[in-house]
A and B are shown apart, each in its own frame.
Chain A
Amino acid sequence: AQTVTQSQPEMSVQEAETVTLSCTYDTSESDYYLFWYKQPPSRQMILVIRQEAYKQQNATENRFSVNFQKAAKSFSLKISDSQLGDAAMYFCAYRSGGGADGLTFGKGTHLIIQP
């Protein structure tokens, strides 16, 4: 079974600064997808960024980028120019490449933005 580990229960960053959230995972599969989701108090999971394991290039979405290290099974999220609206819970998630398996989530990191 796959596992996803987020070792930082809480992170704090000054507005406009850069912060990196850590995620490691364990799998024996070679084909899979990795995701970062944001969950504000409204509870809706919002996709931040997605990475296909077969792609060597790290995914980027505006101020959000990942550092995907396949051999190390590491998938960290970097948020540049942090904004107050970035404050939320962030979850790392894994999905097998074959079929339509559900997502396996980490326990989350609570991101606090200091004004």
Chain B
Amino acid sequence: GAGVSQSPRYKVAKRGQDVALRCDPISGHVSLFWYQQALGQGPEFLTYFQNEAQLDKSGLPSDRFFAERPEGSVSTLKIQRTQQEDSAVYLCASSFGGGGYTFGSGTRLTVV
């Protein structure tokens, strides 16, 4: 596609529910990143994939967070047993390499 597509755009979850956030990167982009952006803050790195390999997951805040990219294209960020502190915008970015990133418009998650 022409850009990085994220869905859903908005998600409201009850505390304790599981959620799945989808990222469809630009075709051919090898690298894929997930970021979490709390209200009024800058994005914070969560995890990084190169093709289907998850090379860095050091930013995932707890074992309730899980990301996958099984075929090296679409990626899913899953949050189990959501808590209020998980409320944030989740941004996905993809890159062909060389430091040029294209971001999606994010998913705003609200946990009530």
Contact = CB atoms under 8 A, between A and B. Distances in A.
Interface of A: 4, 6, 33, 37, 42-47, 50, 91, 93, 95, 100-108
B63 to A, nearest CB: 20
14 contacts: A43-B91, A45-B91, A45-B101, A91-B42, A100-B48, A100-B55, A100-B97, A102-B45, A102-B59, A103-B33, A103-B43, A105-B42, A105-B43, A108-B41
Contacts, number: 57
7 closest A-B pairs by CB: A105-B42, A102-B45, A45-B103, A43-B106, A44-B105, A43-B105, A107-B42
Q: Binding site of B, secondary structure by majority: helix, strand, loop or mixed?
A: strand
Contacts of A4: 42
What bracket does the count of chain B residues touching chain A fall in? 20 to 34
B18 interface: no
Given A100-B50, A102-B35, A107 B41 contact: yes
A95 B99 contact: yes
B43 A91 contact: yes
A103 B106 contact: no
A75 B42 CA distance: 17
A37 B97 CA distance: 18
